[in-house]
Structures are given as structure tokens and as C-alpha cells.
Amino acid sequence: MNNNKENLSDLISKYLNNRLTSAEYAELWRLLNEEPDETALNEELKQLWQSAKTVTPLIAAAEWDQKIQEAKQKLAATTQTEEQPVIGRFARYRWVAAAAVLLLIVSSVFLLTNQKEKRTAVAKNIQTQPKQDRLPGGDRAILTLADGSSIVLDSAGNGMLAQQGTTEIIKKEDGQLLYNSSGAATDAVAYNLLQTPRGGQYKITLPDGSKVWLNAASSLKYPVVFSGKERRVEITGEAYFEIAKDATRPFKVQLNRMEVEVLGTHFNINSYTDEETVRTTLLEGKVKVTTAGESNFLQPGQQAQLKPSGNMKIVNDVNLEETVAWKDGNFQFENSDIKSVMRQLARWYDVEVSYQGSNISKHFIGGISRNVKLSQVLSMLQQTGEVRFIIEGKKIIVMP
């Protein structure tokens, strides 16, 4: 399989992008048929899908349907051949299994193409008024100091913004906010509040060296100097943490009905009030999650889900790529329903969403950069044939 991997990957890519010659088409099916280990073949196709799903954008619906029909016809022609030697029949069934795997990939996944003409054609299917498309969010936040004064960070210049006691507040050239403390707090603890609007995000380095990424419509409250036996902050919305190790002072995050305690680790918390659950996901290290007297320790790859009822559930083998995609500048949808998808878009593009018509049961799989215009994301979703959109200023209308 290793010898054919690069060739097979290239042929599948051409197949999905409608650039396959007749000779290459025959070669593709030959490689699928000749692999002696069906399990290895299936695993290879899954890996090809995992790498393919993160590229950019989409085959037109008509071409997609044509490819599905081609695969179905190929399967039908194969299965109709009944009288053949036993050995030949066994090989034929293996060929059908391999083809079925490819058909599953083709019919259940929407991919993006890198052809500018197709992106333009797809975008025309989104009904929008001139100049009403929405630009993506960016590094935007407001910092409220202990005295109640505020600094709009996206318009503030680089360098030292303020000094509170022994702590300097600095805006770095990359836009990141840095707290540089030269000593312990001498007076009552002073707190700052960092807030991102809808369509905003921000990164901050706290006085202890811990790093926090704030997603859109989120907030972080923290002391300008960590003193005492613990380091405690409060959040709303969503944040990703990389905590500086300090075995003598645990780091605690307080959020709605939950507390997360760590010594040094990487984790993500999603506590938006419009989501069904509060989710704490551990990427590295170990954390203790406590709510209403119940405590659980998480291992990397686990997620604590707090229901509105107050019940907490621990989920194993969480998709970490999907969880932190926002921090890395991407949308990543893994079997996401339309309302979950639209909540993410609403926060990032600062829009309101309404629904018309019957419920949309389709679940979506795929990824796209958060740095593209709103219409490009909607185009990708619309090409599934399950959903349509109208953009009216700051409002998106979703229809089946």
C-alpha cells in the first residue's frame, strides 16, 4: 500500500476535483482493486479523507451528483456479474467493497476546490444585497482596569498601556496583551476585565506567564498580580488555556456552575449560555472539574459536559481538532447540526440568525478558515443541497 499511497491520493484528489482522465480513472479503480489487504485499504481511504476534508472549497452540486452516479453505476455493473469462477468472484467482491468505501466518502463529504471560478459561481447562489456580505472577525477587545477606565485594544497603540501597582500592562506588536509583574501585590488585589465582542477574539499572557485565548463574545476577569495560595480567574463564553506550572499554587477557573482546577496543563472551556452544555476539554496534563459537590479528574482527550439539570457527564476520545479549531483560525464541523453551526457563525460574524420552513435534519462535516467572508462559509454549507441562505444586512435567514 505504501508504494501506491501517493499515486492513490493524487488520483482521488483529481477525481473529486473533476480533473481525472479516462486512463487515470482506470488506474484509480485498479489500485482500489489490487490492494490485497482490505482493512489496510479502508484505513488508507479514511486517512485520505481526514487530510482532504481540511482543504478549501467545493465541487458544484451537479458535478458532485454526477460523480456519485458514476460510482453507483460502476458498483451496479460489477454486482450484476453473477456467473464467474470462485476466485474471480472473491476478487470482484473485494473490488466492490473498496469501491463502496470510496462511494461512501464521495456521497457523505463536502469538499472545497481551489478553483477560483467555482468559488465565484458557488457564491452567486447565496442571495445577498450589494455590500452586505459580512467580513470575518479579528483581534478586538476592551480592557477594563481596576479603576473602571477602559481601553479599546484594537485601536490602542503598541507598548505600555497602563501600570497598576507593580504590574505593567503591555500591548505587543502582534497585538497580544502582556502583564509584566515586578513584584507581589502590596495592597488589596486589583482586578482587570478583558472582554471580546461578537466578531472579536484576543490573546493575553497573565502575570504568572499563563496564556489565554478568548473566543468571540467572551470575558476573562483576573488579578493584576497573583498572590496567596492559588491563582483564580473567572470566564464567560469560550477560552483556551495554557497554564504555567506552579506546584505550590493551583490555577482555578470559575465559570457558571463549575470550577476547573489545574497545576499546569492545556484545556478548553466552552460556557456560552446559548449552548446546551458547558464543556471542559483537556488536551494535556490533568484537571479536576467540580460542580455542585461532584468532582471528576479528566485525562487528555476527555471532556466534562455539564447539563442544565446540573448533571455532569465525562466523554472519552473527544475530537480535539474540532474543539480548538477556533483558536487556530478555523471552523471545524464534525457531525454538527445546523443550529450549532449557525451559533458559531453568529458570534464570529456578528449576525442574527432566523429560520424559515421545516426543520433541517442534516448534520455537517468539513472545515474552512475563519478568515473568509461569511458568504464563502454559507456557500460551502449550501452545496450539500440541504440548506439555503439569504443575507440581509446583519441577518441570516436559513431555509431548507
Report the greatest alpha carbon distance in the chain: 90
Task: Compute the mean pLDDT over every residue in the chain, rounded to the nearest whole number.
Answer: 77
Q: Which domains does the chain have, with CATH numbers?
A: 2-115 (no CATH), 138-322 (2.60.120.1440), 329-399 (3.55.50.30)
113 Cβ contact partners less than 8 Å away, ≥ 6 residues apart: 17, 56, 57, 58, 59, 119
Do β-strands 330-337 and 231-242 pair in parallel, antiparallel, or remain unpaired?
A: unpaired
C-alpha cell at 210: 499563563
Q: Hunting for cell 462535516 — which residue is that?
A: 365
pLDDT value at position 361? 85
CA dist., res. 159 & res. 147, Å (int): 20
Lowest mean pLDDT among 17-21, 144-148, 388-392: 17-21
Q: Hunting for cell 482522465 — which residue is that?
A: 21
Query: Residue 123: which pLDDT band, with cuts at 50, 70 and 90?
Result: very low
Helices 374-382/116-123 angle, 10° precision: 90
Q: What is the mean pLDDT of residues 210-238?
A: 95
C-alpha cell at 32: 482500489
CA dist., res. 103 & res. 83, Å (int): 25
Q: What is the mean pLDDT of residues 265-289?
A: 95
Higher-confidence residue: 193 or 58? 193
* CA atoms within 13 Å, Cβ hemisphere of 185: 14
Residue 228, pLDDT > 90, answer no
Higher-confidence residue: 286 or 128? 286
Higher-confidence residue: 307 or 84? 307
pLDDT value at position 309? 84
Higher-confidence residue: 129 or 142? 142
pLDDT value at position 47? 60
C-alpha cell at 89: 468472484
Lowest mean pLDDT among 105-109, 167-171, 318-322: 105-109
Residue 209, pLDDT > 90, answer yes
Q: What is the mean pLDDT of residues 286-294?
A: 90
- Residue 213 in 3-state DSSP? strand
Consecutive H or E run containing 291: strand 287-291
Q: Are 365 and 333 in contact (CB under 8 A)?
A: yes
CA dist., res. 386 & res. 380, Å (int): 11
Q: Count other C-beta atoms under 10 Å from residue 169's C-beta.
A: 20
CA dist., res. 267 & res. 63, Å (int): 41
Residue 143, pLDDT > 60, answer yes
User: For residue 181, what are the CA distances in angstroms to 144, 169, 188, 220, 225?
Assistant: 18, 9, 16, 18, 7
Residue 150, pLDDT > 50, answer yes
Query: Residue 59: which pLDDT band, with cuts at 50, 70 and 90?
Result: very low
Q: Are 166 and 184 in contact (CB under 8 A)?
A: yes
CA 23 to chain centre: 38
Lowest mean pLDDT among 43-52, 111-120, 297-306, 328-337: 111-120
Lowest mean pLDDT among 79-93, 138-152, 242-256: 79-93
Alpha-carbon dihedral 65, 68, 69, 71, rounded to 10 degrees = 160
CA dist., res. 184 & res. 186, Å (int): 6
Q: How many residues does the chain have?
A: 400
CA dist., res. 103 & res. 261, Å (int): 46
Lowest mean pLDDT among 6-20, 120-134, 286-300, 377-391: 120-134
User: For residue 184, what are the CA distances in angstroms to 133, 210, 226?
Assistant: 49, 16, 8
Query: Residue 132: which pLDDT band, with cuts at 50, 70 and 90?
Result: low
Query: Residue 340: which pLDDT band, with cuts at 50, 70 and 90?
Result: very high
Q: Are 291 and 313 in contact (CB under 8 A)?
A: no
The letter for the amino acid at 283 is L
For the chain, how many helices (H) and strands (E)?
Answer: 9, 25
- Residue 226 has phi, psi (to 5 degrees) of -85, 120
Complete DSSP assignment for 139-205: E--EEE-TTS-EEETTTSPSEEEEEETTEEEEE-TTS-EEEEE-S---SSPPEEEEEE-TTEEEEEE
Q: What is the mean pLDDT of residues 6-20?
A: 64
Closest CA to 236 of 197, 209, 204: 197
**What string of H, E and C letters represents the secondary structure of 246-272?**
CCCCCEEEEECCEEEEECCCEEEEEEC
C-alpha cell at 373: 467572508
Helices 22-34/2-16 angle, 10° precision: 140
Q: Count other C-beta atoms under 10 Å from residue 320's C-beta.
A: 17
